[in-house]
Structure 1
Amino acid sequence: MDYLIAALGENKEVPSVGDVVIELESCSMGMTVRRDTRHRVVGPPKQLGYGYSVPTVTADSRSDLLHVFSMRRHTKLPRTWVLCN
């Protein structure tokens, strides 16, 4: 996963309020997906010293602040983003 993210480079786009972010968590070896979590963006992006973060909430009402650096737009689904962890 780290190699894939490094090869893609830094993301310059930020998701909008209402967009969906699918967070993919890799296994300990980084070869397969261990878990995926869906987040909904609930606020505007926040500028941090090293880039942007977006406030999100999950279906079970858990709040997170996701960094935009490793997010990419989904190629087919509108308003959908993928975050690789």
Structure 2
Amino acid sequence: MSLSFEPCLFACRNGAGHIFLAVLIDETDEVKDWLYVPLSNDRFARLRSGEIDLYTGFRVAEDGFVHRVSVPIYEGSSIVITIACDALTSD
């Protein structure tokens, strides 16, 4: 049995310089599902400082939506679905 470790929560920037916070929300043998929330620089700083908690960071996103990204483990293209924050469930 080999163990591999990877982040379950991370921040990244896209080519245009926009910040996203991503959290792993589900994993099977075939796919990993991530939730990405776009963040302004100010909001990101407030999250990092603890002024805003992670739940609020995702549930009350500045733009009112998040992205669910399903990434195949072995092959295939990722699937991105935009979800309104008020449609998110607590699980």
Is the shorter-chain TM-score for this pair beyond 0.5, marking a shared fold? Answer: no
Structure with greater strand share of residues: 1
State the TM-score, normalized to the length of structure 1: 0.34
Query: Structure with the greater relative contact order (CA < 8 A, sep ≥ 6): 1 or 2?
Result: 1
State the TM-score, normalized to the length of structure 2: 0.33
Larger radius of gyration: 2
